[in-house]
Structure 1
């Protein structure tokens, strides 16, 4: 029966063995365009117990996998075909990556990561491999932020490799998404050095703007202000008006963080003047959210709520989970600070619904929920959520966030102990001593 399947059957077994997850049954036509009877072949392989179906994937047992995996992936034509199919799918433009279409990576990230890891070793000089590597991290950033084994591959790339700055930039964005701005800034500084040496002015401005955002998260707004202003000057020299406008919005956030509230507000007013009437909805949303932060800092709470709700309305129209998460979280923080716990819980619940599973965002929202319940006196619920947040942060190595969880848990424990009634000793019990005799 196996011999009757034709010459492609052995190659298909090798491909199944190569991928850690096996082959998604929905991808048979897409990954094997040159195999006309692919469905029949896969069905027969399962019937012969050479492969089996599991959770929508066709995979195989470890002993067979070890025996059938291609020793040299470059010599397997079918494997190379699947590689090209994956690379083509990852090369979509950024808008498509951010859309629901890009969510295919959630179920196949282990396959793609393994594919890139192997071919980066087997064919390290291929620009296609490293471009696909950068796009893979872009997909993870949008839909499944997590650590990746490809970091070591990127760091070992020679500095003169043409793809290294792009890979470092996307790696920095990924680490920013998992709540590690320190590592993100490290990658960005390396990338900045490389693009400066190559005289790539636009690349310099792009990385400077990203680095200024990392410094915002690191609590170094003054350094970020200098970087944002340098990026704006470069954009102006290059005639990149809209890029300069975006950088001005970043500058407003940095000025707010530095306590220069009036200057931050003036920067946003300037951005509104420069924006076209249509086509910049997400940027307008971000400006309203920043204005909300500014008015919070000024103590003008109703103005802050008004701008947050304007941002929320735009985010709802765009349907972007990141923007919806961030705006709901801002409102939850505001209402918590105001002691309006019901409103805070409402918005933190909405924020959690827009966060990705086990993501840094979700951990941040869960920790805030624990803080709300702690303030409400719901100590058992607060402890449960704080532990849940700690577990999420531990998976990503977010040391500062882990410490914040432990601090809250200690406060909850102390509050619980203070509520526990003390038990008076029974002085009439045998062997008991009175407090006076002691």
Structure 2
């Protein structure tokens, strides 16, 4: 197969359980009528070629039984340019089916609360290798897909189609992609709420047939089964659910249970669930509880569940190399992590230990429902991420690891920031963490985030603005004399306003890279108002300067000059001579662009004299020392 014919594949499910558990596999530059020949050639050649981006489509699942007829049906629909949606419960095998279709010779750490329209488009654009700028990103993606026939696979689509924000815009975007004559969409989802303007061929993914279910179980169990009635009865009680079968088979294998022992354990756990008032057996839940209560895990104590709570909480899972830092109060963390991997509750993806979306969903809803009280290890995890942000410290003006940590852990870190902004146990600390995170992201991995609304929602206590402009200078002098123990309500309110302003200002700096000028302008205005009310005059002046620069870029020279004047006046009031000089220089540029040359020369001259005086003064101080 010509390697230049395939581009834009995402590698595996792992990274896409990070923000919204979505896998985007894009097959481009391939005529749909050539899919049969192309994939046949790919299989003959061993599937070892690499694309120019070094990314290949995911391989067919190693354990895949009882689905050949369904794969053939879907392949036929795709060849007929029909859009297909796999619909079914978590763990039913939708992703495996999608991978199998992609490998047919005829032819997997942000949750839904972190998904936004910008995040959705940014992830898709990155998959396609596109640089998305400006406000009309969708048009750029559509234009790229129109260039050649494409197969677009959206896995775990319920996480973005039911996002906490912008889900209507995201659904409209999927509608637009489905309307492209060059593109066929294959979508997997637990929800039947599909974008309404695409004609979907909805395939309800069924459970395995009894014979296929038995084959899937014995492939893992690795023991001779003399009485098939016993295993058939057990599998029937599992409703032939693929994930449940896999987990239960691993539990039996690791604990060396006979079939009779396994059946007794299953029945006992199912009975306990009914006694808790559920009233109906849910095979996935019972199977997971059976694994959690297996002897191999029970002997490790309650710490097993505590570790699983954290793995479920962090979208990327936990870095196995950092278990000591993540769980400082826990002995034997490595042993516990290895044990839950053996039970197939979690799995390894590179250096991380994570879990499949259905397992994560169950652990989160059952055991993590009241954060942070019910998660004993969460305090240590929060402290770990706070410390790493400080150590790697964009806010301290130095980055000790070249940004490698935040690049690898950005999704998990955003999850912690989201929690801190939601709980607001310490507003100032939460804002400091948020500001640091945004600074790191801007420097090392610019991308949209989903914390804007949380920052906006930070409550600021009511303040009575002081009438005299020198109040804040007097307040700072008093603080230096008697310390912050003298802080009263008004000062506390100003501290909150200042901290929130810094968050918005950092978000504005990120928006300069990943959003349009309008978003940045609105954030700067909001930050400016908070800095003004809190007396953070240098921050206020900085916002005015950046607002003026945006106005210059958009050709609004009169407004820009006025904004520069306000910033200059503030710098003069706080006696920041250097800042005032640079602002005069910037005003001179504006005057020159307005062709007011005499005023421009005056401003340039004043800026030059002020900077020269500052340098001379600095030189004298150095000589005296």
- TM-score clears 0.5: yes
Give 1 or 2 for the bigger CA radius of gyration: 2
CA shift digits 1:200-253 (9 cap, x unpaired): 333322322232233233333432333233323322332323433444454455
TM-score after normalising by structure 1:
0.56
* Pair 1:220 & 2:567 matched: no
Which blocks of at least 5 consecutive residues in structure 2 are unaligned? 1-295, 462-495, 619-625
**More helix by proportion, 1 or 2?**
1
Aligned residue in 2 for 1:364: none
Aligned residue in 2 for 1:30: 325
Aligned residue in 1 for 2:500: 164
* Pair 1:68 & 2:366 matched: no
Structure 2 distance, partners of 1:207, 1:275, is 24
CA shift digits 1:392-423 (9 cap, x unpaired): xxxxxxxxxxxxxxxxxxxxxxxxxxxxxxxx
Q: CA deviation at 1:106?
A: 1.7
Q: 1:42 aligns with which of 337, 340, 347?
A: 337
Q: 1:55 aligns with which of 341, 345, 350?
A: 350
Structure 1 distance, partners of 2:523, 2:513, is 14
Aligned residue in 1 for 2:379: 80
Q: 1:236 aligns with which of 551, 566, 572?
A: 572
Contact 1:182 1:218 (8 Å CA) reproduced: no
Structure 1 distance, partners of 2:551, 2:425, is 33
Q: CA deviation at 1:93?
A: 4.8
Structure 2 distance, partners of 1:216, 1:142, is 24
Contact 1:97 1:142 (8 Å CA) reproduced: no
Q: How does 1:331-342 map to 2 (within 5 A)?
A: none
Contact 2:320 2:334 (8 Å CA) reproduced: no
Aligned residue in 2 for 1:117: 418
Structure 1 distance, partners of 2:377, 2:430, is 17
Structure 1 distance, partners of 2:388, 2:348, is 24
RMSD of the TM alignment (CA)? 3.1
Q: 1:44 to 1:254 in 2, by over 3 A?
A: farther
Q: 2:526 aligns with which of 175, 179, 190?
A: 190
CA shift digits 1:239-268 (9 cap, x unpaired): 323433444454455456545676486577
Q: CA deviation at 1:54?
A: 0.7
Contact 1:154 1:167 (8 Å CA) reproduced: yes
Contact 2:585 2:604 (8 Å CA) reproduced: no
Q: CA deviation at 1:147?
A: 1.7
Structure 1 distance, partners of 2:309, 2:383, is 16
CA shift digits 1:290-315 (9 cap, x unpaired): xxxxxxxxxxxxxxxxxxxxxxxxxx
Structure 2 distance, partners of 1:197, 1:144, is 32
Q: 1:94 to 1:134 in 2, by over 3 A?
A: closer
Contact 1:46 1:52 (8 Å CA) reproduced: yes
Contact 1:248 1:271 (8 Å CA) reproduced: no
* Pair 1:17 & 2:353 matched: no
* Pair 1:178 & 2:514 matched: yes
Q: 1:221 to 1:109 in 2, by over 3 A?
A: farther
Q: CA deviation at 1:85?
A: 1.6
Q: 1:31 to 1:260 in 2, by over 3 A?
A: farther
